[in-house]
Amino acid sequence: MLIGRAWVLGGRVGSCALGPRAALFTAAANMAKSKFDYVRNFETDDTCLRNCYIVVRLDGRNFHKFAEQHSFTKPNDDRALELMTRSARSVMEELEDIVIAYGQSDEFSFVFKRTSTWFKRRASKLMTHVASQFSSSYVFYWKEFFGEQPLLYPPGFDGRVVLYPSNRNLRDYLSWRQADCHINNMYNTVFWTLVQSGGLSTTQAEDRLKGTLAADKNEILFSEFNINYNTEAPGHRKGTTLIWEKRDEISTKRTTLPGGEEADVAVTRSRRRVHAHRCDIIGEAFWAEHPDILEGDHC
């Protein structure tokens, strides 16, 4: 028991500045430590700089082999592209601080807002969470897009974290990825058209395209195969952009009318969900239409 600033235990009086309960908790905290705690000093600080957009980019590991073994359609397999988009949407729904994501082929970039404090802005935590959520979603939703075609082995994705301090830097990054999508898709479209419709071997198609420019590839498609590249699917040419948007959704609700009769009534609710856009994000139109994506620059 307490006696002023002293306490009695087993008939002995001792001085205690904290009191017996505080002393008990302090002892428990000390007991939690061990001589092995020093190993924590080997951890490096990977906290991302404040006031920067955090971009986590995932790339499929050895996806050329993965696509071959799973018989992906060339040059674009819409099932695989939609599965990538579904997996990316799962990541955004899990981590709501992601304001925009952009994907093409076997890659996806996720942009965390500048003020995000998720995982205390630790790069390793952000990257591993995005990678694990994306990979598990890819496996989980496989059947939804590929039906009874079996998944022969687990896919792998590697990730990296890059910081962009300004809106212009971030837009240039996303523009770079979309330009890469255009360049790769145009080459692949012409290459596989030459193989599948032109009867060339893959080696002959490679030789045919060496040193060609975009205009040359457009000419091959149009003059030899009557294909206008600009009419190809927007998702193939532009990739997929995911953003959060509020949209009205109409549902039916059973309700009792003033006369006592029951009836189905249409109810409109505004819900915030992840929506896909397959459009140009290099120009100004997209950003003018969605001004809330980017935060104000602080410089």
Which are the contacts of 129, defined by CB distance < 8 A and separation ≥ 6? Answer: 94, 95, 119
Q: Domain residues of the chain, as ranges? A: 53-182+235-240
Terminal alpha carbon distance of the chain: 61
- pLDDT-derived band of residue 270, with 50, 70 and 90 as boundaries? confident
69, 148 Cβ separation under 8 angstroms: no
For residue 244, pLDDT over 50 is answered with yes
Read off the pLDDT of residues 59-81 as tens digits, 9 standing for 90 and up.
999 999 999 999 999 999 999 99
Q: Are 272 and 292 in contact (CB under 8 A)?
A: no
pLDDT of residue 259: 72
The per-residue pLDDT for range 203-235, each reduced to its tens digit, is 999 999 999 999 999 999 999 999 999 999 999
**Whether the predicted pLDDT of 27 surpasses 60:** no
Looking at residue 195, its pLDDT comes to: 97
Average pLDDT over residues 180-189: 97
pLDDT band for 296, please (50, 70, 90 cuts): confident
pLDDT at 4 over 60: no
Binding-site positions for GTP read: 59-64, 105-106
- What are the helix (H) ranges across 141-201? 142-146, 167-196
Average pLDDT over the chain reads: 89
CA distances from 149 to 16, 71, 130, 146 (A): 72, 10, 26, 6
What share of the chain in percent tops pLDDT 90?
76
What integer pLDDT is reported at residue 248 of this predicted model?
74
- Phi and psi at 201, nearest 5°, equal -80, 165
pLDDT at residue 28 in the model: 52
pTM equals: 0.83
**So what's the pLDDT on residue 183?**
97
Q: Is 239 in contact with 177 (CB distance < 8 Å)?
A: yes
Give residue 32's pLDDT.
65
CA distance 221 to 119: 49
Position 256 scores a pLDDT of 74
The 10s digit of each residue's pLDDT in 103-135 is 999 999 999 999 999 999 999 999 999 999 999
pLDDT of residue 6: 42
Known binding-site positions: 59-64, 105-106
Fold of 53-182+235-240: Alpha-Beta Plaits (3.30.70)
User: What pLDDT, on the 0 to 100 scale, is given for residue 2?
Assistant: 44
Annotated binding site for Mg(2+): 59-60, 106
